[in-house]
Amino acid sequence: MAIGSATKIIQALHLIGKEYVCVMRMHGDVEAERIQRVCKEFTGLIYQRPPIRSSVKRRLRIRRIYYLDVLEVEGRNVLLKVGCESGTYIRKICHDIGEVLGCGAHMRELRRTRSGPFTEENMVTLHDLKDAYVFWKEESDEKYLKKVLLPAEEGVRHLPKFFVRDSAVDAICHGADLAIPGIVKFEDGVEKGDMVAILTLKGELVALGVAMMTAEEVIKEKRGIAVKTARVIMDKGTYPKLWKSKKSNYSIEQ
């Protein structure tokens, strides 16, 4: 869940990989060894058509399965752990595995255990959240609230990052794109079209953007737009204005 300005990073969380643990119920008896063998065939790129009852159009699409591990087989129940690309339907995978095995199968239970940088280890219950709020509201004790509320920066740990000069921050907050002179450092492996996070040198999240250059091009070039700003997170005026505008175009003063 995201609150306040952190709701602006939700679009970055939709694209991240997920991990699930599920119980697949077989419609017939199959040897555990054969189940293991067939499940391995479902790793990598697979074709998948969303099930009839789904929130998207039933178009054939490609999804990547990072791993599909058989944890346990008990009778006709198979416990699976699946790491997959966002938008993958686990119940459809169970159905398709059953088709390949020739006996049929369906998903009986499902639990999401990871969503990008968030795992079960840092989950909290609604009771924990309520208790933390009560301690803060009635006793002015923020200790428990800080344990259940994470900064927005935690939600972009999976994204490549660009760190910018203080002089560039407010211009970006006003919608300016990030030019090469405003960059102090960045992470390797950036490709054109990647969603990236723009941060201050203190590690504060300024905005989300789309890379217009590869990492190699950013190193090689001295000028040009490296990142097109897509979603501003930081409030205007958080950093002092050190830029000037000409005919509605923002330029960063060096």
Query: What span, in angstroms and rounded, lies between the C-alpha atoms of 233 and 206?
Result: 5
Per-residue pLDDT of the chain (254 residues; tens, 9 = 90+): 888 989 999 988 887 899 999 999 999 999 999 999 999 999 999 999 988 887 788 899 999 999 999 999 999 999 999 999 999 999 999 999 999 999 999 999 999 999 988 898 888 899 999 999 999 999 999 999 988 999 999 999 999 999 999 999 999 999 999 999 999 999 988 999 999 999 999 999 999 999 999 999 999 998 999 999 999 999 999 999 876 765 444 444 44
Q: Taking the complete model, does pTM exceed 0.85, yes or no?
A: no
Residue 132 neighbours by CB distance under 10 Å: 20
DSSP-derived 3-state class of residue 74: strand
List of domains in the chain: 17-115 (3.30.70.3190), 123-152 (no CATH), 159-252 (2.30.130.10)
Task: Confirm if 112 and 20 have CB atoms less than 8 A apart.
Answer: yes
Choose among 167, 169, 175, 179: nearest CA to 218: 179
Choose among 6, 254, 20, 49: nearest CA to 120: 20
Cβ partners under 8 Å of residue 191, min gap 6? 211, 214, 215
Q: What is the pLDDT of residue 246?
A: 56
Helices (H), the chain: 10-13, 32-40, 90-101, 126-139, 143-148, 166-173, 215-220
Residue whose structure tokens are 């990989």: 17
Choose among 112, 17, 35, 44: nearest CA to 73: 35
Phi, psi for residue 181 in degrees, rounded to 5: -60, -20
Query: What span, in angstroms and rounded, lies between the C-alpha atoms of 86 and 17?
Result: 5
